Structure 1
Amino acid sequence: MIRLPASIRAACVLAVVSALAACANRAPTQFYTLLAPAEATPVPAESGYAIELLPVVVPEQVDVPQLVLRSGSGALQPVDTRRWAAPLGEELRTALSARLSARLGVRDVYRLASPASLPLYRVRVRVGRFDSVPADYALLDAGWSVERRDDRSVRTCDARYREDVGAGIDALVAGHQQALARLADDIAATLRRFDAGGCPDTRT
């Protein structure tokens, strides 16, 4: 993808925000989700453990119902007519849970009774940055920890995921879905390698 100069990218952000604001009084609100479409890949055989994915912590600046766009100058602008289907932290947790379950063949027992016979791994995720820049990139900066219930041992990791995106809100949301899928895959790798210790190689 050809990268635009910073001044043009900033103008694109302002143009998108201005256009959406101008339509706010007459355009219906659109809702978006971070839950990606169902994948065609088969779910692996059920693993011999369960996970408990706790609520995802998100930055206060983006912890609002609206999508928050970032300009090249660093200004943040919530867009009233473009909103998440659920609170952002809940959207992130739901999408991560679905991806982990599909990748590992595990059950997420958050708010459910956990079978005492199965090892349980408690997963915590904290998002440091969640940037949305139209016609430029979607960025997810996150850290996570995995704690084993039986001996309370913990593994911690962190990574940054950036996806180049085209113009429009749909492209931004798709970019965040892709970044979140990469995060889920790295958390899955942490779970697989837990006994060996350390974090999986991560990408930027």
Structure 2
Amino acid sequence: MAFPLKITLVTALLLLAACRSDPIQFHTLTPVQSGDHSRAITGGIKIEAITVPPQVDRPQIVIREGNSGLAILETQWWGANLVDELRNALEIQLVNTGTQGRQSVRIDIQRFDSVPGQYALMDVKWRLRSGTQADSPKIICRSTLQTPSGASIDDLVLAQQNNVKRLAAMISQAASRPGGTCPSAS
């Protein structure tokens, strides 16, 4: 009688071990802040709205596979959904822009590609406005930002962080220019 009980227990333990899932890893587009955080906020650009393609608008990280495939990584997640991650990262970087007057930006991400071992890409249309909502846009720009990436998900996230940082710098540059021209991606 003891032998069938042992077999049942071993079988149950093996089934439980097989059902174990890998732990979820969380990532953020907000880079680590260094330096003095006690500075007063001197100006900033308000983010009106951010949109992303529906394929990547989820908490799980989505990567491209081959020419036509997408993979939703069930154990690699953003700290929040992608729109909120982008908003938070950009707001932090646009706070102390030194711009004069009220300005706002609307961001429409056309592509948000992550290809392990190759690159992270953001293709963004953005509209900068000054003053109230009724004012016409100061400028409308399109920026394609691509950063090489290593094969790991951490490398892809760092590459996308770099893209967000470059986008924030371009928005800040356009906001401080009196001529209203789009900066080039560098």
Q: Name the TM-score class by shorter chain.
A: 0.7 to 0.9
* Unpaired runs of at least 5, structure 2: 1-17
Residue 135 (structure 1) aligns with: 117
In 1: Cα distance, 2:34 partner to 2:19 partner = 34
Overall identity of the aligned pairs, in %: 35
C-alpha RMSD of matched pairs (Å): 2.5
- 3-state SS in 2 of match to 1:26: coil
From 25, 35, 55, the equivalent of 1:61 is 55
Do residues 87 (structure 1) and 76 (structure 2) align? no
The TM-score with structure 1 as length reference comes to 0.74
- 3-state SS in 1 of match to 2:51: coil
2:45 touches 2:94 (CA, 8 Å); kept in 1?
no
Residue type matched to 2:30 in 1? L
Residue 148 (structure 1) aligns with: 130
Residue 74 (structure 1) aligns with: 68
Whichever of the two has the greater Rg, that structure is 2
- 3-state SS in 1 of match to 2:49: coil
- 3-state SS in 1 of match to 2:156: helix
Q: How does 1:53-202 map to 2 (within 5 A)?
A: 53-102=47-96, 104-105=97-98, 119-150=101-132, 152-154=135-137, 155-193=139-177, 195-202=178-185
Q: How does 1:30-69 map to 2 (within 5 A)?
A: 30-40=25-35, 47=42, 50-69=44-63
Q: 4+ runs of 1 displaced by more than 2 Å?
A: 23-26, 39-47
Residue-pair matches, total: 167
The TM-score with structure 2 as length reference comes to 0.80
Residue 111 (structure 1) aligns with: none
For each residue in 1:91-126, what CA deviation from the matched residue of structure 2 results, as whole angstroms up to 9, or x when unmatched? 001101101114x157xxxxxxxxxxx832121011
Residue 8 (structure 2) aligns with: none
Deviation at 1:201, TM superposition (A): 2.3
In 1: Cα distance, 2:180 partner to 2:162 partner = 27
Structure (1/2) with the larger strand percentage: 2
Residue type matched to 1:189 in 2? Q
